[in-house]
């Protein structure tokens, strides 16, 4: 994008790729008008904020939210476009602009293969806009009247397996949290091949002999931008919480272990990340990032499959051609222990007590694995085979704890065991953290199945908690009940409290006890709100032994 002159005062084009979310937004916000002038009106009812803010990059002007007390700034560049010679390099400082940047449109998402919808992740949970290599943008929602308010800041890192997603996903709308007092920031970061490609040539040209963590370095750059600029939006740079879900949660966990992120945030929220991902088979937290040598070999394999002559030649290939290349099944683009962003694996960093020690809220969902075929629907024979494959010589002990004599019982036993495994894995991580941390941790278990009469099998699926924490249920097309509204109000209040003072507790909400390694309990968030154990002692001991074996 050319930043010498920027104007976003245009009529947005409605394409097939974004039609459904647009229609839903218009129904919810404009139906009272009776008619919608799509050729002249913006997608949301909003008015331009008349007073520009003055950043080091230049003047910027936003729009009002649905609530006119909230100011929204979309598509703010926090780094230079990572294109051409900047492809596969650390993010560079953002370019200044002339005139006033009209921050009324989300920037494009980073390069990815667009799914748009992949149940249980319907359109509201997926990126719906355009994509580009020029994608390092962030978005801000603020209810502050001036820079002196210094409101607490929440920076949200999206999920998507490090291969998809963006900060403009519909359920990440920051307005409800801004109305409760936060400054909300959502960000894009480089994904897949463009965000996590390690290669010996890239490491050799690096001042730090490192390659591969470009997406994570983008996150650091965004946090630095927040430190330098958020005061202008009424935020407090000394009171920043970083939150993320799934790959975003892994990112946040890695940020707590990175020396580059030191001092950039003051507490973290880790949703369905380490621990919760045990339901997906990720039972060893050392595998959250891979050694540089391994990822360089991984990158060289892709390099060979592409038939490339050099990294410089690869930089000249258009992005759409690069992602069209068939990736060998052994190749993955994933965080790297690169000796720069990450010096060692996270358990080692925590074991040494060298992490960025800040309060942590972390948890998982009851049905994390429900997107996988066969979840909760297993024949007895399949269940027994799974038990033998996963637990080996411990299979008999496992089946004694999770018995089944019918196909129906087998499916239920499998679901229960996966929930218990995630709870025990997360408890184990919290215990390891407690050995060196001087700050508090708070654990949750989200068990509310999103109302979905057509697809009840997904339950409290991976990502289901997000619209509750953001309090954006009205953005998701489901038959919500009054109980859902109460739960979303409670969960968003917990988030606001934690982001404000490092504890979810406050007036009018059930008390949430700080983590105690001698009595591991979770705040259960569902039909009932209670602080309770998830697994009994016998199952906990069995699963701890299994996890210890996996970590060897």
Strand partners, 54: 59
Please tell me the distance from the alpha carbon of residue 510 to that of residue 58, in angstroms, as a whole number. Answer: 45
Residue whose C-alpha is closest to residue 525's, from 440, 456, 466, 439: 466
Q: How many CA atoms within 13 Å lie on the side-chain side of 214?
A: 32
- Following DSSP, what letter does each residue of 315-357 receive, concatenated? HTS-HHHHHTSPPPTT-----EE-SSS-SS-HHHHHHHT-S--
User: Do residues 468 and 487 make contact, with C-beta atoms less than 8 angstroms apart?
Assistant: yes
User: Do residues 135 and 321 make contact, with C-beta atoms less than 8 angstroms apart?
Assistant: no
- The phi and psi torsions of 75 (rounded to 5 degrees) equal 65, 45
Q: In sequence order, which residues have a C-beta less than 8 Å from that of residue 205 and are 6 or more positions away? A: 311
Torsion of CA 289, 278, 534, 406, to 10 degrees: 180
Residue whose C-alpha is closest to residue 428's, from 507, 368, 362: 362
Please tell me the distance from the alpha carbon of residue 343 to that of residue 392, in angstroms, as a whole number. Answer: 34
Count of positions (residues) in the chain: 552
Question: Helix (H, G, I), strand (E, B), or coil: what is residue 461?
Answer: strand
Q: Which residues are catalytic?
A: 246, 368, 462
Q: How many CA atoms within 13 Å lie on the side-chain side of 88?
A: 28
């Amino acid at each position: 994008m050319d930043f010498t002159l920027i104007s976003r005062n245009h009529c947005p084009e409605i394409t097939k790729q974004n039609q459904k979310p647009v229609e839903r937004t218009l129904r919810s916000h404009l139906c009272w008008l009776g008619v919608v002038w799509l050729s002249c009106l913006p997608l949301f009812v909003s008015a331009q904020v008349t007073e520009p803010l003055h950043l080091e990059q230049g003047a910027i002007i936003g729009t009002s939210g649905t609530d006119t007390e909230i100011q929204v700034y979309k598509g703010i560049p926090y780094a230079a476009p990572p294109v051409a010679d900047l492809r596969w390099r650390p993010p560079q400082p953002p370019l200044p602009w002339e005139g006033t940047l009209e921050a009324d449109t989300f920037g494009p998402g980073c390069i990815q293969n667009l799914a748009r919808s992949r149940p249980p992740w319907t359109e509201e949970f997926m990126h719906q806009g355009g994509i580009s290599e020029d994608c390092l943008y962030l978005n801000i929602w603020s209810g502050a009247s001036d820079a002196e308010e210094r409101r607490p800041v929440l920076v949200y890192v999206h999920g998507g397996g490090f291969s998809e997603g963006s900060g403009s996903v519909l359920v990440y709308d920051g307005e409800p949290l801004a109305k409760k007092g936060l400054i909300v920031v959502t960000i894009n970061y480089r994904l897949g091949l463009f965000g996590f490609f390690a290669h010996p040539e890239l490491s050799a040209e690096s001042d730090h002999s490192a390659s591969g963590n470009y997406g994570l370095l983008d996150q650091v750059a965004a946090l630095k931008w927040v430190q330098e600029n958020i005061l202008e939006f009424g935020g407090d740079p000394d009171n920043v919480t970083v939150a993320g879900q799934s790959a975003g949660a892994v990112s946040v966990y890695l940020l707590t272990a990175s020396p580059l992120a030191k001092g950039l945030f003051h507490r973290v929220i880790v949703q369905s990340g380490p621990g919760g991902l045990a339901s997906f088979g990720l039972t060893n937290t050392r595998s959250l990032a891979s050694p540089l040598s391994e990822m360089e070999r991984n990158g060289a394999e892709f390099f060979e499959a592409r038939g490339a002559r050099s990294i410089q030649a690869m930089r000249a290939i258009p992005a759409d051609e690069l992602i069209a290349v068939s990736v060998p099944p052994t190749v993955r683009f994933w965080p790297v222990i690169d000796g720069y962003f990450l010096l060692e694996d996270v358990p080692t960093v925590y074991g040494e007590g060298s992490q960025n020690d800040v309060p942590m809220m972390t948890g998982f969902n009851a049905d994390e694995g429900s997107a996988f075929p066969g979840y909760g629907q297993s024949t007895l024979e399949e269940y027994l085979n799974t038990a033998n494959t996963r637990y080996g010589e411990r299979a008999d002990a496992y089946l004694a704890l999770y018995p089944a004599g019918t196909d129906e019982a087998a499916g239920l036993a499998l679901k229960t065991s996966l929930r218990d495994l995630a709870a025990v894995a997360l408890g184990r991580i919290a215990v390891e953290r407690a050995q060196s941390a001087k700050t508090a941790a708070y654990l949750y278990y989200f068990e509310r199945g999103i109302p979905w009469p057509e697809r009840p099998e997904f339950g409290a699926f991976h990502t289901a908690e997000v619209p509750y924490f953001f309090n954006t249920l009205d953005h998701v097309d489901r038959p919500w009940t009054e109980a859902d509204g109460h739960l979303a109000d409670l969960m968003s209040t917990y988030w606001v409290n934690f982001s404000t003072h490092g504890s979810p507790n406050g007036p009018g909400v059930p008390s949430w006890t700080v983590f105690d390694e001698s009595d591991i309990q979770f705040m259960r968030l569902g039909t009932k709100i209670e602080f309770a154990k998830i697994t009994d002692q016998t199952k906990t001991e069995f699963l701890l032994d299994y996890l210890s074996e996996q970590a060897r």
